[in-house]
Amino acid sequence: AQSVTQLGSHVSVSEGALVLLRCNYSSSVPPYLFWYVQYPNQGLQLLLKYTTGATLVKGINGFEAEFKKSETSFHLTKPSAHMSDAAEYFCAVSDLPLTGGGNKLTFGTGTQLKVEL
C-alpha cells in the first residue's frame, strides 16, 4: 500500500528565506509524486509532479522538488519565500493506474507554511 509522510505540520520562515517542506513516501512500485498547494478557502492546485526521467522537477511559483529514490523522499523547496506562499502544502503519491481509468492519489497530512516579515 502506498503512503506519504510529511514531517512538520507547521513550518515558519522569514520572507526571503529558503523554504523546505519534507515528504517521504512508501510505495511497492515506482511511485509518481505530486505536490499540491491549497490557499485559504480554495481548492488544491498542482505545484509540480514527478513521473519519470529527470529527478529534479520544477514547478510553478519558483518551487521545485527532487525525487530521491534511495531516501524515498520528494522534498519541496523554494530559494526565497514570499508572503504569497503562505498556504497549506500537500504531498501525494500515485502508483498503479486504476482499472477503468483515473488514478488514486494518497495524500499526506499537509504542512502549513507561514511566511513572516
Partner 1 sequence: DTAVSQTPKYLVTQMGNDKSIKCEQNLGHDTMYWYKQDSKKFLKIMFSYNNKELIINETVPNRFSPKSPDKAHLNLHINSLELGDSAVYFCASSQVSGSATDTQYFGPGTRLTVL
Q: Are 63 and 77 in contact (CB under 8 A)?
A: yes
Least distance in Å: CB of 80 to partner 1?
Answer: 26
Contacting partner 1 (CB under 8 A), which of 16, 97, 114, 116? 97
90 sits near partner 1 (criterion: CB under 8 A): yes
In the region spanning residues 36 to 65, those forming contacts with partner 1, defined by CB under 8 A, are: 36, 38, 41-46, 49, 51
Q: Which is nearer to partner 1, 17 or 22 (CB)?
A: 22
Least distance in Å: CB of 86 to partner 1?
Answer: 15
Beta carbons within 8 Å of 3's beta carbon, 6+ residues apart: 25, 26, 27, 93, 106
Angle at 88 between CA 38 and CA 5, to 5 degrees: 115
Beta carbons within 8 Å of 69's beta carbon, 6+ residues apart: 55
Grid cell, residue 45, equals: 492546485
Chain residues binding partner 1 by CB under 8 A are: 32, 34, 36, 38, 41-46, 49, 51, 88, 90, 94-107, 109-110
